[in-house]
Every structure is written in C-alpha cells, then in structure tokens.
Amino acid sequence: MPLATASETDILGLDFRIFGISLRGDRMVRAMVRRFAGALLAALLLAGMASPASAGERREFLIELDGTFAEFVMYCTLIDGDIRKTVRRREYLPESYRIEAEAVSCTVTMLDYRGRISGKLYADGRLIASAAQNAIRPIIKLRSDGPWGPARGARSSVPIRPTRPPAHPEKPPAPIRPEKPE
C-alpha cells in the first residue's frame, strides 16, 4: 500500500491521509506543516548563500587562438571567489580552451622566432576581447573584467635591442703556446 496517493492528498484543502490516518482540518497539523516548510525554505536559502558559486558571478569563458602553426606558451590567471590560480599551457596553434571562473587574464607568447598570432576571448558566448600581432616573437594579452580592470585585448612583441660595440675594445688574449721541455 502506498504511503499517499494523489486522490488521498489535497494540499490546498489540507486533507492528508498518510499511513491510513486522516489529518483533515487539524489546526495543529497545519501549524506543524507551516513551520516545517518555513524551516526547510530558510535552510535552503542559507545553503544557497553559502555556496562559492553564488558568492560571485561565475562565467564560462572561451579562448580561441589562431595564427601561424607554431609552438606557444600561455599563462592564465583565474579568479574564482577567493581563489587565485595560475595555469600554464604549452601547445601548438591553433587551439581553444573553455574555462569556468569569475575572471580570467591570459598572456600568450609564441616561442618561434617570427609569426602571426591572434586571440579572442568570449564570456558566455559574447566577444569581450581580441588581439592580433604579426612580429618577431609576438605576444598577446586577453583579459576579462576583474581586479586588473575592464576587459581588453593587447598586443606586443619581445623587444629587440641592438648592442653597441664597446668604446675601448679589449685586445684579444694572446694565444697560449705550450712550453717546450728542455
């Protein structure tokens, strides 16, 4: 025998028949049901407020990288609540990554001498940052809104600094000649 059936339970009219006992119209039972429902609702609300996912706005990010087929290294700082984590990836272009966090900031450096790299950062399916660079050792930076500021994409390259010859060059050292035994 089932504990309660649809025909025996009328919630609006407060006619409950559980284990064969009719609880119709009893004020004490109604008061207990209200207290239990209120306590259950309060417990669920408190549990929802304490969960880390509801502490901040967690979003789904998609990072798409494209360019010259070459090896790259990517460092991403992820923020999720009070947790700050840095992730490192070393792969070949093209590549894409899906990340769930509150905020993300990534720096991508191409390891080959010369090439083109472009990147796009999407948050919940909407493009929020992009950058492209064609240079010697290109670098792109993609970030969402976060503690570092608003969302944006930036590009740069590894600086190449020419070196000047010294003003007073040193004379090369004299060659070492083996001594002749006497």
According to DSSP, the residues that pair with 15 across neighbouring strands are: 10
55-157: CATH topology:
Lipoxygenase-1 (2.60.60)
Q: Hey, how many other C-beta atoms are within 10 angstroms of the C-beta on 40? A: 10
Residue 10 is classified by DSSP as: B
pTM greater than 0.85? no
DSSP H helical ranges for the chain: 27-50, 52-55
Report how far residue 84's alpha carbon sits from residue 154's, in angstroms, rounded to the nearest whole number: 22
136: tokens are 């010697």
Strand ordering across the sheet containing 59-67: 95-101, 59-67, 114-123, 126-136
What residue ranges do the domains of the chain occupy? Answer: 1-50, 55-157
Q: What is the pLDDT along the chain (182 residues), one digit of tens a residue?
A: 444 444 444 444 445 555 455 555 556 656 665 666 566 555 555 555 444 433 468 899 999 999 999 999 999 999 998 899 999 999 999 999 999 999 999 999 998 878 899 999 999 999 999 999 998 889 999 999 999 999 999 998 877 777 777 677 777 777 777 777 76
